[in-house]
Structure formats: structure tokens, C-alpha cells
A and B are shown apart, each in its own frame.
Chain A
Amino acid sequence: MLQQIIDRRLSGKNKSIGNRERFLKRYREQIRAAVRRAVGERSIRDVDRGETVTVPRKDLSEPTFRHGPGGVREHVIPGNREYARGDRIKRPQGGAGVAGGGNASPDGQGEDDFAFTLSREEFMHYFFEDLALPNLIRTQLAETPEFKFRRAGFTGDGTPNNIHVLRSMRGALGRRIALGSEHRRKLTDLRAALAEARRRPEPQAGDIAALEAEMDRLARRLRAIPYLDPIDLRYRNRVRVPQPISKAVMFCLMDVSGSMDEARKDIAKRFFILLYLFLTRHYERTEVVFIRHHTQADEVDEHDFFHATESGGTVVSSALILMQDIIRERYAAGDWNIYGAQASDGDNWGQDSAKCRELLDTSLLPLVRYFAYVQVAEGQQSLWEEYARVATENPNFAMRMIAGASDIYPVFRDLFRREAAA
């Protein structure tokens, strides 16, 4: 009767992947909203992972004709212990159904929301979609970095080609010594006892035989200790590490004066994230320095950077000077690839803009590989004009006025193009 047993285990899983794609496509709007929310909440170093998305269950329902509440129903239920015919029972609260009937959803999950997890790739897809990134750049950013294997000590588990003979033999020797020491000591004692027995004036044949038998037994036990046991084997351990290229530091400069509201900060955050992602793909190690400023600049942690609001005027050069100081102290230009990203609403104290240009021109831009500036508000003020002059003279300086997330990418266009070519 048996036609055959087929092993299907290797014939591919993820048959449902097409169905999943269709599902995600259908709920695109909800997913994009969830991704946007997640980007807002996450630290910028932490963008690069999946996310749980929740869709209200009613949006997912597949309608069918069914009986609604009302009318007459009869259910047969097992386990009657107390009722007789004609008994009346209070209607259970909350829903028309009695035991088992009624409104339970088919998968028994009730009416709560439907949550599912986006993989890292899917998450990045939606994130990039918002930023209107070209496909080439998307793959570049989304790709997992190259790995190489590096030796990392020894393990008890591995493939035969990685056996480390010396370590294994050393382990075996130690084990043989440890396991046999008890027997060997006894053997030595017995040997002494035997010699003693033989030396006696009237040797007792029985005693000697017993001692010899015992010595024999111990010798057998000792021989039974395996010379090499699987637990002795040691293998050279190799771990996968991301292919190191070099290290980079990214300076995030942001104006936190009162006019930078949440929406502007959100756009700025995406701007920083995009640069951060780019850097993590190209450098083994990327550090981030957050500098916020109003009339004076501070180095802060990420939370304060995005969430604290100050009021008062604006002196942009204070941030540039602080950046320069930090570079001098901690990131000697030879070792580090330095990137700068600055976001502001364009306000600056009148005389300061010219000073900013000079700072950039003479001392900062020669140190950094790339400096990008975005203005998250309309209107061209003195800072914009001065920066525009910087841009014409320096190829590693980019600037842009942006109104929405999709305007961010063009700021980096040159940067990405150059790196892609390299």
C-alpha cells in the first residue's frame, strides 16, 4: 500500500513568502506608520533591526455571511451535573452566545489587535521608501557587511580538520593522570605490601595470591582508562567578525533653540540616521558625537540631544568650535574618518555666520571627509548665504533645504555616489 516516504525537509520552506508579501502590501499604510513611529522612538544607532507592527483586527477581517446575535439557538453541552429539564440559567454577560457559541473569533484570539514582526530587511525597506532612496543605495545600505573568520581560542566542538593535536593530547594526558591516580597509589601500596609479605619468614601463599590478584585488577583498571577520549579533543575555534575597514566618527550638530519643534527635530533625526547607516556600512566602527547648541554648545547624550529644548538665541559657530576641539582631543585626523552632519532652522546671530564660514573653510573642512548641512525651515538668512559660498568652494560640503523626509537623500547624493564608485 505504501507508495513512498518522501523527505521534504530540504525542499524549501517559506512557501508562504508570496502570501506574506501580499499581506504586507495590503497593510502598507499601517506598516509605514508603525515604521515611522519606531524611527521616532529608537536611538539612531538602533535603527537597523526589525519591528513589531500592530494592525487593528477589524481591518483584517474577511467578511462572510453568518448568523448574528438574536433569535433562538440551542446548544448541546456535555458534563451536566446539576440541571434538570426546565431549569433556567442566567444569561452569561457580554455577548449573545452561550458556551462556545457566539462571538469568539475563529483563531480564539478575541478582538485584540493583530501584531506581527517585520524582519530587519522589511523594516529597512519601509524606512528607505519614506526617504525616497534610489534602489542602488538601498541595497548598498541594507546589505549585511562582509565577514571574515578570525581565530578565537579553542572549543570542545568542531570539525576534524580543526583539531588541535597538542591541546587534545595535553587534555588526554591530564585526564589519564587524574583518573588513574587513585589506582596507581593503591598499586604502589600493594606492591609494598607484597614485598613485605614475601619478606616474611613464613610466606603465606594465600595472602600473596590475594595481593597479586588485587594488583592485577588495578592494573586492568588502569589499562582500561582510554588513551584518548572524545572529551579530550580540542578544536581551533573561529568566529565570524565583520570585515573591518576602518573607523569613523560622526558629529551630529543641531540647533536646539525654541524654534526647532518636534516635527523639525524628527526630520533632522532621519537625516542623522541616514548618515549613520551609511557610515556603519562602510566602517568597522562608527562613533557618534552629539553636539547641541543655542548660544553655546554642549556635548550631550542622544536622549538629551533629541528631547531637551532650550530657548534663547543662536550662535552656530559655538558648535563648530566645540566640534573642532573634540576632534583635536579625541579623534586625531589620521586615524579617523570624520563626518559632520548639521541640522538647523537657519537662524543665527547676525555677525556669527561669516565666522562659521571661515571656521569651516579654514579649519574644519580640511579635517573632515564630508560635511552635510540641512536647513529644516524655509527662508534664506545669512547662515544659508554664507554656507552657500562654502559649498561652491568645497567639494566635501553639501547643503540642502528640506521640507519632508523624502528631501533628505539628495543631500547625500554626492557622498553616496562617490563611495559607490570607490
Chain B
Amino acid sequence: MSVTLQACAPVARAAQPLPCPSEWTFELIDAYHDAIARTARSFGLDTYANQLEIITAEQMMDAYASVGMPVNYKHWSFGKQFIATERSYRRGQMGLAYEIVINSDPCISYLMDENTLPMQALVIAHAAYGHNSFFKGNYLFRMWTDASSIIDYLVYARTYIAECEEKHGIEAVEQMLDSCHALMDQGVDRYRRPQRLSLAQEKARRSEREIYLQQQVNDLWRTLPRRTDRRADAGRARFPEEPQENILYFIEKHAPLLEPWQREVVRIVRKVAQYFYPQRQTQVMNEGWATFWHYTLLNSMYDEGLLTDGFMLEFLQSHTSVVAQPAGGRLNPYALGFAMMRDIRRICESPTDEDRLWFPDIAGSDWRTTLDYAMRNFKDESFIGQFLSPELMRRFRLFALRDDQAQPDLEVSAIHDEAGYRQLRESLARQYDINHREPNIQVWSVDTRGDRSLTLRHLQQWGRPLNQDADEVLRHVARLWGFRVVLESVDGTGRELKRREASPVRD
């Protein structure tokens, strides 16, 4: 019952194929891009405008070093990254990525000038149409990132940081950035956009706080007896009223001693972290989607007779190495994502009885609509939770391994059989859940009336403690906060398991 590919798979392959020397030229890239764009349109891919940039290997390493962005502020850690990349590249330990694509409007894709023409075409299909449409469509990117302004913002950040270095010294700025970088993962809003918190609400909160503070200076209260109870009350009405997940945001707004420029630096790091947050949550989907589309687009172009056999051989060779999944290793996100996208299409086009049982909603539906829906409304965790099919688990021969430090051995907790499908799917979804992967640390309270110390609370999940870096990160928090900082690790019942403390070094 397949509809689409048959329609555009002609019996006799059409016209003249596009020329395919291995060296690319601008005219050829243009021609290939036109053909790919036409094919993408026929599949209904909605993208930002494309900007293709040809760069050298060295420029590619530059881009690597500044976390893939065309501009970024200066920091030693990017220098370290560059040196590491350069070294392993020169030693031949790693190839550079064929492309880097930036979630911006227009969407910038870097093509390396060393690539052959088929590789350039692959990159265009993969990045300029695959990733690009994902950036434009996926709800996380729509909600958290503003593609049209990111480049401008980074230019602003770069200039601002440079100005700060001039005014306050490179070292002071570097210290700020070091501390902020340490908290980058705790510098994102996971559940809501801060901007959406309206000014009115913010004001209301502040006036509530002011009223409360006013009560504290009321003499009547002070003369009341039963002092201990009052203290308990004061403890309950604590600040912040609710725990805060975004530590950097909290520091930016509330750290007592930071100067305005320092707050702005915190803000810049926080904004950049927020920009990358969706990417960290959609790796499987994003790569799967892009890989699915380069595969689908180029195959469809081949069926039309636009591509030569030689082109297809080279393309398939790179494609195969991208989606290779070695057994027993870590799951390759490209392989998993690509297989899942293909699998959804299969479920739509030729569902088995099992598929009808597991996916009654999508079995037999139009695959393009279904894939589009999946791309728009999910992130890795929910995507896997929703769409990983038993068929695929069998094909990958997935099994779950449980590592309980209290036990002497590892335990195979589920395998690809009837009893294990749901548990496997849940477990794999959890593996891609960023909230499970990273420790849950929140701003718990500030001793506003005492020594101004800040208490962070780490809610320990699955009995996993923090790593050794925690003490050093805490020192960074103390530097930003300016007063003593406490980090409590508690278990689910609120019992304190470990307590760490750090105080800022005064100079």
C-alpha cells in the first residue's frame, strides 16, 4: 500500500543525470542544490532560507573550537578545544565533521572545501534540508531559541566581553566566565521560558516580598512572645519561595555583590546555554531526521535519474559508515534515529499485526504527516518512549544492563522479548532524558537575615552521588554568590546524605 515513492519511481530513469566529477565547483553546487531543493519541496519540507558557506579545514577547526558558532566570545577553554582538535586531526586520529550547521535564520551550513562533490551534495541534503527543517519545526527549538537573532546576539556578546576585558582586565573576566561555565548546565530553564513570566507577575512578587519585609519591621510583631515559633515562621517564609532550577538566573538576579557588568556576563553565558539546550535534548531525533532525509532525498533523485551510479556508491559508502552500529557498544544516535525514522515510515506504509497493536494511531497512516508530527512535537526521551517499536528492538537486539553498586554483579534487566519491550523502551527513553542524566540541583534557600549564605539542594536520584568536581564547582558558585554556599545532597525523603560547603576567597 505504499503511495509515495512508487509515484516518483519511474520505470525508465529520466533525463540527463547531473554531471559528477569528484571535484566540486560553485556552479555544480548550485545545480545540485537546486535539484535537492526541488525534491525537498516535493516532500513538503519546510525550512529556513539556506546559506551555504565554503570553508577550509582550518576554519572548520576554528568553528569547532567556538562550539560550532561562527562568532563567539574569547575564552581559554575554546583555545584548549582548538588545540585538542587540531592535534588529533593532524595525527589523523579523527576526521573533521563533513559539515556544521547553525540553527539560525538564514540557516548557515558549512561545507568543507576538501569534500568531494557527492559529499557536498550529501551535506546539503543532510544539513541544509534535514537539520534546517528540524530547527524550524521542532517545538523545543521554536520555544527556546530565536533563530533569527542568535548570530546578532553572539556578535553582541563577543563585543561586550571584549569591552569588559578592556575595562576590568582579562583575568577578572576570565574568572567570571570560568565560574559561569561551570554552572552552564544549571543555567537553563527546563520547564518554562523566563520571558513569559510577565512583568506584572514579577512586580506582584516583588510587592509581596516588600509587604513581608514590612511585617518584619513591625514593632508589634517584635514584642509578641513565643520567640521560637516566630523563628519557625520566618524559616518557612523563605527566599526563594519555591526552589529555583536555573542557578545562573538566580545568581544573575539575586547575587548580592555582583557588579552590573558581571551580571551581564552571567546573562550572556546563560543565554548561550539556553540556546544549546534543545540540541542536547534532541540529538537522536535531529540526527535521525537529517539522516533520514538525506537518504530519502538522494535516493529519490537517483530514481528520477538525476544521479549517477558512481555518485550513489560514494554517497552510500559515507551514509553506511555514519549509521553503522557496532554491537555491544554505545548506541550510535545516527543509527538509532535513522532506524526509528525509517521504522515509522514502515509502520505507516506496511504495518504488521504487531504494529497495529502497538501503534494503532499511526499504523497505515500517511507517513509524511506522521513523521512531520513526530518531528514537531517530541524530544529524544518522549520520541523513543512513543515510537520505539518491538520490531526495532529486535533488530538492534537491545538489552538493558542494570548496574547497582550495592550488588557484586551487573544484571541483565530486560531483553528484546515480549516481557521486556516496554521496560526496554522506558529504560532507553530515560537514558536520553536530560533530567535523569544530569544531577538535579536547585537553589533551595538563602539565609537573607543571617550570613546571606546560599543553600543548593541536590536531590539524589537512584542513589547516584555527585562526582568529585562538585567541590570545585561549589567554589565557583561561592565566587559568584559572594558569600558562603552550602550544597546538600538529600534522598527522596529529604534526608540529608552529604553536605558540602564553600566560601568565597576574599582578596
Chain A residues lying within 8 Å of B409, measured Cβ to Cβ, are 88-91
What 1/0 mask marks residues of chain B from 18 to 55 whose CB sits below 8 Å from any chain A CB? 00000000100110011001000100000101111111
What 1/0 mask marks residues of chain B from 311 to 331 whose CB sits below 8 Å from any chain A CB? 000000000000001111111
Q: Is the CB of B464 within 8 A of A72?
A: yes
Task: Tell me the residues in window 75-94 of chain B with beta carbons closer than 8 Å to chain A beta carbons.
Answer: 75-80, 82-84, 87-88
Of the stretches A11-19, A144-152, A383-391, the one at the interface is: A11-19
Q: Is the CB of A6 within 8 A of B51?
A: yes
Q: Is the CB of B408 within 8 A of A66?
A: no
B473 within 8 A of A: yes
B462 within 8 A of A: yes
Known A68-B466, A74-B402: A16·B431 in contact at CB below 8 Å: no
Task: Tell me the residues in window 58-78 of chain B with beta carbons closer than 8 Å to chain A beta carbons.
Answer: 58-59, 61-62, 65-66, 74-78
What 1/0 mask marks residues of chain A from 38 to 73 whose CB sits below 8 Å from any chain B CB? 000000000000000000000011111111111111
B501 within 8 A of A: no
Q: Is the CB of A77 within 8 A of B47?
A: no
Q: Is the CB of A78 within 8 A of B331?
A: yes
A420 within 8 A of B: no
A135 within 8 A of B: no
Known A21-B79, A63-B472, A65-B473: A77·B399 in contact at CB below 8 Å: yes
Of the stretches A93-101, A255-263, A303-311, A320-328, the one at the interface is: A93-101
A25 within 8 A of B: yes
Q: Is the CB of A61 within 8 A of B469?
A: yes
Q: Is the CB of B402 within 8 A of A73?
A: yes
Task: Tell me the residues in window 387-424 of chain B with beta carbons closer than 8 Å to chain A beta carbons.
Answer: 396-405, 408-417, 419-420, 424
A28 to B76, CA, bound (A): 12
Distance of A386 from chain B, by nearest CB (Å): 50
A79 to B330, CA, bound (A): 10
Q: Is the CB of B182 within 8 A of A63?
A: yes
Distance of A84 from chain B, by nearest CB (Å): 6
A114 within 8 A of B: yes
Known A79-B397, A98-B401: A26·B174 in contact at CB below 8 Å: yes
Chain B residues lying within 8 Å of A5, measured Cβ to Cβ, are 26, 29-30, 33, 51-54
What 1/0 mask marks residues of chain A from 102 to 125 whose CB sits below 8 Å from any chain B CB? 000001010000111100000000
B468 within 8 A of A: yes
Chain B residues lying within 8 Å of A72, measured Cβ to Cβ, are 402-405, 462-464
- Residues of A in contact with B, size category: 35 or more
Distance of A240 from chain B, by nearest CB (Å): 24
What 1/0 mask marks residues of chain B from 184 to 200 whose CB sits below 8 Å from any chain A CB? 11100000000000000
Distance of A11 from chain B, by nearest CB (Å): 8
Chain B residues lying within 8 Å of A8, measured Cβ to Cβ, are 53-55, 59, 110
Known A67-B466, A68-B467: A79·B410 in contact at CB below 8 Å: no
Chain B residues lying within 8 Å of A23, measured Cβ to Cβ, are 76-77, 79-80, 83
Q: Is the CB of A19 within 8 A of B65?
A: yes
Q: Is the CB of A71 within 8 A of B405?
A: yes
A1 to B431, CA, bound (A): 37
Chain A residues lying within 8 Å of B178, measured Cβ to Cβ, are 62
Which residue in B62, B184, B325, B415 is a CB contact (below 8 Å) of A14?
Answer: B62
B430 within 8 A of A: yes
**How many A-B residue pairs lie within 8 Å, measured between CB atoms?**
267
Q: Is the CB of A66 within 8 A of B469?
A: yes
B441 within 8 A of A: yes
Q: Is the CB of B331 within 8 A of A76?
A: yes
Distance of B150 from chain A, by nearest CB (Å): 16
Distance of A62 from chain B, by nearest CB (Å): 6
Q: Is the CB of A80 within 8 A of B329?
A: no
Distance of B72 from chain A, by nearest CB (Å): 9
Distance of A361 from chain B, by nearest CB (Å): 54
B305 within 8 A of A: no
Q: Is the CB of B400 within 8 A of A60?
A: no
Chain B residues lying within 8 Å of A61, measured Cβ to Cβ, are 469
Known A3-B50, A65-B441, A91-B409: A114·B468 in contact at CB below 8 Å: no
Q: Is the CB of B84 within 8 A of A109?
A: yes
Chain B residues lying within 8 Å of A63, measured Cβ to Cβ, are 182, 469-470, 472-473, 476
A24 to B76, CA, bound (A): 8
Task: Tell me the residues in window 136-165 of chain A with beta carbons closer than 8 Å to chain B beta carbons.
Answer: none
A351 within 8 A of B: no
Q: Is the CB of B463 within 8 A of A16?
A: no
Chain A residues lying within 8 Å of B325, measured Cβ to Cβ, are 78-79
Chain B residues lying within 8 Å of A204, measured Cβ to Cβ, are none
A60 to B470, CA, bound (A): 16
B181 within 8 A of A: yes
A9 within 8 A of B: yes
Chain A residues lying within 8 Å of B151, measured Cβ to Cβ, are none
Q: Is the CB of A64 within 8 A of B56?
A: no
B504 within 8 A of A: no
Which residue in B52, B62, B400, B405 is a CB contact (below 8 Å) of A15?
Answer: B62
Known A5-B30, A73-B402: A15·B66 in contact at CB below 8 Å: yes
Chain B residues lying within 8 Å of A114, measured Cβ to Cβ, are 80, 83-84
Q: Is the CB of A66 within 8 A of B467?
A: yes
Q: Is the CB of A77 within 8 A of B463?
A: no
Q: Is the CB of B53 within 8 A of A85?
A: no
A22 within 8 A of B: yes
B96 within 8 A of A: no
Nearest opposing residue in chain B for A26, CB measure: B76
B385 within 8 A of A: no
Which residue in B37, B58, B396 is a CB contact (below 8 Å) of A1?
Answer: B37
Q: Is the CB of B78 within 8 A of A70?
A: no
A114 to B84, CA, bound (A): 8
Chain B residues lying within 8 Å of A355, measured Cβ to Cβ, are none
Instruction: Name, among A76, A81, A90, the residue most crowded by chain B CB atoms within 10 Å (CB to CB).
Output: A76
Q: Is the CB of B415 within 8 A of A84?
A: yes
Known A62-B182, A63-B476: A76·B400 in contact at CB below 8 Å: yes
Distance of A155 from chain B, by nearest CB (Å): 25
Please list 18 pairs of residues, one from A and one from B, whose beta carbons are closer than 8 Å in the complex, sorted by A's number.
A1-B37, A5-B29, A13-B58, A13-B62, A15-B66, A21-B79, A64-B184, A64-B473, A73-B404, A76-B424, A77-B399, A78-B397, A78-B398, A85-B414, A96-B403, A98-B401, A99-B328, A99-B329
Q: A20-B82, A65-B467 are in contact. List 14 more A-B contacts (CB 8 A).
A: A2-B37, A2-B52, A5-B51, A19-B65, A26-B174, A69-B467, A72-B462, A73-B402, A76-B398, A76-B428, A79-B327, A87-B412, A96-B405, A107-B88
